[in-house]
Amino acid sequence: MPFRRVLPTALALAVLVAGCGAEEDEKAQVKTGPGVTDDTISLGILSDMTGPFKASALTRIKGYELYLKQVNDRGGICGRRIELKQKDHAYDVQKALDGYFDLEPQVLGLLELAGTPMTTAIEPDIMQTRTLTAPASWAASLLGNPHMMIVGTTYDLDVINGLDYYKRKGVIEEGDTVGHVFVQGSYGDNAVEGSRFVGQQWNMKVAEQPIGETTADLSQQVAALKAAGAKAVVLSTTPAQTAAAVGVAAAMKWEVPFMVNVVGFDTAILDSPVGAAVEKQVSVVTSVAPFTGGKPGPREVAAAFTRYYPGDKPAIYVDHGYTVAKVFLAVIEKACQEGDLTRDGVLKAFQDINGLETQGLTGPLRYSLVGRPSATQSYITKVDRKAPGGLTTVEELFESELVKAKGTRAR
């Protein structure tokens, strides 16, 4: 990591007179910090807008914009409009560092920090500057950082909920072998913890197949899982790797069911040669509702997206972005009510959040317990090319008894 300059803290900035709600006649005294002026509150986005994950990133940004528009149309927060300042790192660590050091002094918080390598490189400075940050990740390794806002369930708990669904549906049972192909790193390493826990509790053998982030040919891994007699396979992979694994299984005429972490799915897969096999064999576990979700939150997102982006293809990442923006701005609104829009004020508001409802976009959220997931419930969805966004819900938000057991052990 390059030599780090000394960054200004929120406490070094002046106290400004600002509004604490568009409907108030008198403006309250509100302490402010980086990214806050008399008229605006700036939030940062540091993401991959031109690299391998640009499709999900650009779609997620539309979700942010949809919610910010609603807030700004209501008068903003503390009498200030919310605006986004964006930097593209193209999935390159050095570009991410350069972008971060340019962006950080201009914003109150980071609405998105995407990419595990980039997050690892930048995390120490986030701790130093006390910048509330929403990583585009559900890795449990981030839970110990009190500045990280993970919206939803961690990867391991999603896997437990997904395998619980398979067990209740009779796909797997005690004593069976379950396969797990996972990308090594904070994503896959955390996800496979879920399979291992299930294996211990239900006397199942977990056949693990670790791969690299750029592994393209999964023939060997899928063949090994078939030979091991896996009754189901969990994929904690990239979307391209998901397509590769399912394609290999289809070529082998192995109709094993795949449970995929949501990060491993992209609607573009359905337009590929393996689209039919993916639709037939893949379920997706997610703590964020699919675009076709029937609860009030997802319906609101779908209506807004259709209205403002009529020519664009929808995806679950719209709901993800909208949900993160909704939660992040709820924190800023609470900080406004407390009269403190410094970074310390925002962090205090964040850590006081409990029972935050998102109308079914994700489960109820709480952030008062550092080191614990903000939510523990997951949706189970099925790939469906006829559905907007490519996913339909087959089970609404639920929490496995094993998730409760794992949480008790963690305490």
176-190 pLDDT tens trace = 999 999 999 999 999
Q: Looking at the structure, tell me whether residues 244 and 336 fall in a common domain.
A: no
Confirm whether 215 is domain-assigned: yes
3-class secondary-structure state, position 316: helix
Q: Which residues contact 43 (CB under 8 A, 6 or more apart)?
A: 35, 82, 83, 84, 85, 107, 108, 109, 110, 111, 328
* pLDDT digits 0-9 by tens, 73-113: 999 999 999 999 999 999 999 999 999 999 999 999 999 99
Q: Looking at the structure, tell me whether residues 199 and 328 fall in a common domain.
A: no
Cα 157 from Cα 286, distance rounded (Å): 10
Q: Is the pLDDT of residue 386 over 90?
A: yes
Residue pair 339/79 in contact (Cβ under 8 Å)? The answer is: no
Confirm whether 361 is domain-assigned: no
Q: What is the pLDDT of residue 406?
A: 80
Q: Looking at the structure, tell me whether residues 333 and 228 fall in a common domain.
A: no
Q: What is the pLDDT of residue 13?
A: 29
Element at 309 (helix H, strand E) = none
Q: Is the pLDDT of residue 14 over 50?
A: no
Residue pair 350/367 in contact (Cβ under 8 Å)? The answer is: yes
Residue pair 155/139 in contact (Cβ under 8 Å)? The answer is: yes
Residue pair 130/343 in contact (Cβ under 8 Å)? The answer is: yes
Q: Looking at the structure, tell me whether residues 231 and 210 fall in a common domain.
A: yes
Q: Looking at the structure, tell me whether residues 26 and 124 fall in a common domain.
A: yes
Confirm whether 160 is domain-assigned: yes
Q: Looking at the structure, tell me whether residues 21 and 83 fall in a common domain.
A: yes
Sign of the dihedral defined by the CA atoms of residues 183, 187, 191, 193, in that order: positive
CA distances from 225 to 79, 137, 177, 207, 334 (A): 58, 27, 9, 7, 50
Tokens of 68: 């910010």
Q: What is the pLDDT of residue 115?
A: 87
Q: What is the pLDDT of residue 354?
A: 86
Of residues 362 and 406, more confidently modeled: 362
Q: How many residues does the chain have?
A: 411
Q: What average pLDDT does this structure show over 10-22?
A: 34
Q: Looking at the structure, tell me whether residues 119 and 130 fall in a common domain.
A: yes
Confirm whether 15 is domain-assigned: yes
Confirm whether 184 is domain-assigned: yes
Cα 186 from Cα 396, distance rounded (Å): 27
* pLDDT digits 0-9 by tens, 259-292: 999 999 999 999 999 999 999 999 999 999 999 9
Cα 238 from Cα 249, distance rounded (Å): 17
Element at 100 (helix H, strand E) = helix 93-103
Last residue of a domain, one of 305, 336, 351: 351
Q: What is the pLDDT of residue 355?
A: 83
Q: Report how many domains make up the chain.
A: 2
Where residue 26 falls among pLDDT bands split at 50, 70, 90? very low
Strand duo 340-341 + 29-32: pairing:
parallel
* pLDDT digits 0-9 by tens, 193-218: 999 999 999 999 999 999 998 899 99
Residue 33 amino acid letter: G
Range in 20-34, 282-296, 394-408 with the lowest mean pLDDT: 20-34
For residue 257, what is the domain's CATH number? 3.40.50.2300
Percent of the chain scoring above 90 in pLDDT: 82
Q: Looking at the structure, tell me whether residues 31 and 148 fall in a common domain.
A: yes
Q: What is the pLDDT of residue 28?
A: 54
Cα 166 from Cα 259, distance rounded (Å): 9
Q: Looking at the structure, tell me whether residues 218 and 78 fall in a common domain.
A: no
Give me the chain's average pLDDT, please: 90
Q: What is the pLDDT of residue 112?
A: 97
Confirm whether 319 is domain-assigned: yes
Q: What is the pLDDT of residue 409?
A: 54
Whole-model pTM: value is 0.89
Confirm whether 6 is domain-assigned: no
Q: What is the pLDDT of residue 411?
A: 39
Q: Which residues contact 67 (CB under 8 A, 6 or more apart)?
A: 321, 322, 325, 326, 329
Confirm whether 96 is domain-assigned: yes
Q: Looking at the structure, tell me whether residues 82 and 54 fall in a common domain.
A: yes
* pLDDT digits 0-9 by tens, 113-169: 998 889 989 999 999 999 999 999 899 999 988 999 999 999 999 999 999 999 999
Last residue of a domain, one of 306, 336, 351: 351
Q: Looking at the structure, tell me whether residues 76 and 36 fall in a common domain.
A: yes
Please give the residue range of the domain that contains residue 239: 155-286+378-410
Q: Looking at the structure, tell me whether residues 269 and 406 fall in a common domain.
A: yes
